[in-house]
Amino acid sequence: MGVYITTTIPYVNARPHLGFALELVQADVLARHLRRRGEVRFQAGTDDNSLKNVLAAEAAGIGVQEFVDALAEEFIGLVGPLSLSVDDAIRTSRDPRHRAGVERLWRACAASGDLYRRHYEGLYCVGCEQFYGEGELADGRCPEHGTVPEQVSEENWFFRLSRYTGRLHDLVSSGRLRIEPAERRNEVLSFIAGGLEDFSVSRSTERARGWGIPVPDDPSQVIYVWWDALGNYVTALDYGRDGAGYRRWWTGGGRRVHLVGKGVLRFHAVYWPAMLLSAGLPVPDEILVHGYLTAGGRKISKSGDVTVDPVGLVREFGVDAVRWWLLREVPRVGDADFTAERLIARADDELANGLGNLVHRVVSMVHRYRGGEVPAAEADELEAVCREAPGEIDAALDDADFRRATAAVWRIVDEANRHINRVRPWELAKAGDPRLGAVLAGLVSACRTVGDLLEPFLPDAAERVRRQCAGQRLPRPEPVFRRLGEPRPAREGVSSR
C-alpha cells in the first residue's frame, strides 16, 4: 500500500542549518529503508508564506518573493549535498497545487461549522508564529525564542479546536495516532488534558503586509501561516483537485508518517489532526519527533546567534561523516551538542578506522592469499551476527531509533575486526591451514552484508563498500574513507555571531 513520509517545511527567513538537515537525513533513512519493502513517497518543501519571511525581506531591503525564492533554493538544494532521495518538494508561495488545496481545506472546515470570526487580543511571538497565554511564557518571554511577544489586537477567523478534544485524546491514547517517543506522546496527552481552546487561523491582510493566501471570500484576512503550512502534507498530493497522488498516498490505505522537531509537536499532533477531522479527511498514522541540535549548549537556529551550515560541513568533511554524526550521536530523546571535533572523532574511529580498515584488510588478504578470488567455502562464525542485524534494524527504525539501528550495523563491523585479530588469517596462510578459505569467505560475506545494510544510512559509502567486495574476483583494494583528523585549513560551516 505504500508509505508517505514527510518532513516539516521550514520558514525561509534565513539560510538552512544543521538542525533541519537532521530531520531530512532521518526521513531519508526511513524512506530508503522502507523502499526495500514497497513503494515510498518522500516529501519535503519550504514554508514561504510567513510573516517572519516578510520581516526578513524588509530587513534585507528586497522584495518578499525575490527573498524567499533565493532562500527556498538553498533549502531544496540540500538534496544534493546530503545525498537525499526526496521524491518531491513543494514551495507554498509558488506551487499552484498549494493554494488550491489550502482553499479547499478551509472551505471543508467552514462547511463543518468550525470556522467563525471574532475579536481577539493576545501575546504573539513572530518567531513561533503563534499566540501565547501569560502562563506559557518564561519570565514574560517566549519559551522557544526568548523574545518578548508583541501585544496584538484584531479581528480574526477562529477554528473550533475545543470541539475535538475528546476525539484527539482517543486518537493519541489508543495509538491510532502513534507518537514516538513515548515522552512526546505523554506531552501531547497532557496538553490535551489541560483543555483545548479555539485558535486564530487568520491574520489581517494589513498586518501580514499582504503576503500569504487570502481567506476565501474575505480579502481583508490572510490564512494563518500554520494552517497554510500544515496543509502542505495534502496539497503536495494535489488535494485541491482531488488528484491521483492524494488518492494514492493519503486516502489509499497506506501509512502516513510525519517527522517533526519537538518545538512544533503541538501543531502537528493537535491542530493538524483536528483540522483533518473537521474536513472529514484521514489523520496521520505516525508522528516521529526529534530533539534539537545545540552548539556550546545553545540551540542551533537559522537566525539566532549560533548556526551550523550543513553544506559547509559536507564540503569540508564529506557527506558520509555528516550523516554518520547525525545518526550516531543524536539520541532518540533529548538534544545533542555539535562540535566539529566530535564529528571528526566519530568519523575517524568508526568509518575510517573501523569499516574502512576492515574492508581494506579483507580485500587485501583475498588478493594476497587467493589472487583476488573469493574462496568457494562455507561462511564461518560471522554468519550469526550478519543474520541477526536486519531484524534489529527493522525494529529500531520502526521506533525511529537511529542510534540503535546504526549500532546493529556496527556490531558486524566490530565483530569482523575482532574475528580477524582472534583468528589471525596471516598465520593460517603461513601454516597452510585449510580453515583460511572459510575465514576469508566469511569476512567477504560480512563486508557485503555491511555494504547492503549501510545503504539507507550512508548511500555513498555503501556503494563504495559494495564495489570493493563485488564479484567472484575482487578489485584491487582502495580506501573507502579518508581520515579527517589531520591538519586542515580553517573550518567552514560553524559560526557564532
Please spell the DSSP secondary structure of 91-159, one letter per residue: ETTT-HHHHHHHHHHHHHHHHTT-EEEEEEEEEEETTTTEEE-GGGSBTTB-TTT-PPPEEEEEEEEEE
Is it the case that residue 98 has pLDDT exceeding 50? yes
β strands within 212-310, DSSP E: 214-215, 218-223, 255-261, 286-290, 293-295, 298-299, 306-308
387-393: long-range contacts at Cβ-Cβ below 8 A with a sequence spacing of 24 or more?
389/449, 389/453, 390/453, 393/33, 393/453
Question: Percentage of residues in the chain with pLDDT exceeding 70?
Answer: 94
Distance of CA 246 to the CA centre of its chain: 22
pLDDT tens-digit readout, 404-414: 999 999 999 99
Give me the mean pLDDT over the 74-83 stretch. 97
Place of cell 524567499: 68
**Amino acid in the structure at residue 188:** V
- What cell numbers appear for 56 in the block? 526578513
- What cell numbers appear for 230 in the block? 500544515
Query: Which pLDDT band, with edges at 50, 70 and 90, does 488 fall under?
Result: very low
Give me the mean pLDDT over the 439-455 stretch. 97
pLDDT tens-digit readout, 161-202: 999 999 999 999 999 999 999 999 999 999 999 999 999 999
Percent helix, percent strand, percent coil in the chain, to nearest 5: 50, 20, 30
Please state which of the ranges 40-44, 410-414, 485-489 shows the lowest mean pLDDT.
485-489
List beta partners, residue 154.
Answer: 120
The predicted model scores a pTM of 0.92
- What cell numbers appear for 232 in the block? 502542505
- Please state, rounded to an integer, the average pLDDT across all residues of the chain: 92
Dist CA 252 CA 250 (whole Å): 6
Query: Which pLDDT band, with edges at 50, 70 and 90, does 303 fall under?
Result: low
Query: Which pLDDT band, with edges at 50, 70 and 90, does 124 fall under?
Result: confident
Query: Which pLDDT band, with edges at 50, 70 and 90, does 489 fall under?
Result: very low
Give me the mean pLDDT over the 62-72 stretch. 93
Please state which of the ranges 83-92, 116-125, 455-464 shows the lowest mean pLDDT.
116-125
Residue 290, H or E segment:
strand 286-290
Cis peptide before 96 (omega within 30 of 0): no
Query: Which pLDDT band, with edges at 50, 70 and 90, does 426 fall under?
Result: very high
pLDDT number for residue 129:
66
Dist CA 180 CA 202 (whole Å): 30
All residues at 6 or more sequence positions from 227 whose CB lies less than 8 Å from its CB, including other chains: 102, 105, 106, 159, 201, 275
All residues at 6 or more sequence positions from 182 whose CB lies less than 8 Å from its CB, including other chains: none
256, with CB counted inside 10 A (0-12, 13-18, 19+), is: buried
Is it the case that residue 66 has pLDDT exceeding 70? yes
pLDDT number for residue 50:
86
Give me the mean pLDDT over the 273-288 stretch. 98
Q: Identify the DSSP state of 348.
A: I
Question: Percentage of residues in the chain with pLDDT exceeding 90?
Answer: 82
pLDDT tens-digit readout, 228-278: 999 999 999 999 999 999 999 999 989 999 999 999 999 999 999 999 999
Give me the mean pLDDT over the 128-133 stretch. 68
Helix 165-174 and helix 272-279, axial crossing angle in degrees, nearest 10:
110
3-state secondary structure 408-447: HHHHHHHHHHHHHHHHCHHHHHHHCCCCHHHHHHHHHHHH
Is it the case that residue 470 has pLDDT exceeding 70? yes
8 Å CB contact between 33 and 397: yes
Query: Which pLDDT band, with edges at 50, 70 and 90, does 492 fall under?
Result: very low
Residue 230, H or E segment:
helix 225-230
pLDDT number for residue 243:
96
Rg (C-alpha) for the chain, rounded Å, is: 26
Residue 214, H or E segment:
strand 214-215
Q: Which residue has the higher pLDDT, 53 or 354?
A: 354
Please state which of the ranges 109-123, 254-268, 309-323 shows the lowest mean pLDDT.
109-123
- What cell numbers appear for 124 in the block? 504573539
Is it the case that residue 46 has pLDDT exceeding 90? yes
**Amino acid in the structure at residue 328:** R
Q: How many CA atoms lie within 13 Å of 84's alpha carbon, on the beta-carbon side?
A: 30
Query: Which pLDDT band, with edges at 50, 70 and 90, does 128 fall under?
Result: low
pLDDT number for residue 379:
64
- What cell numbers appear for 457 in the block? 544510512
Dist CA 382 CA 379 (whole Å): 7
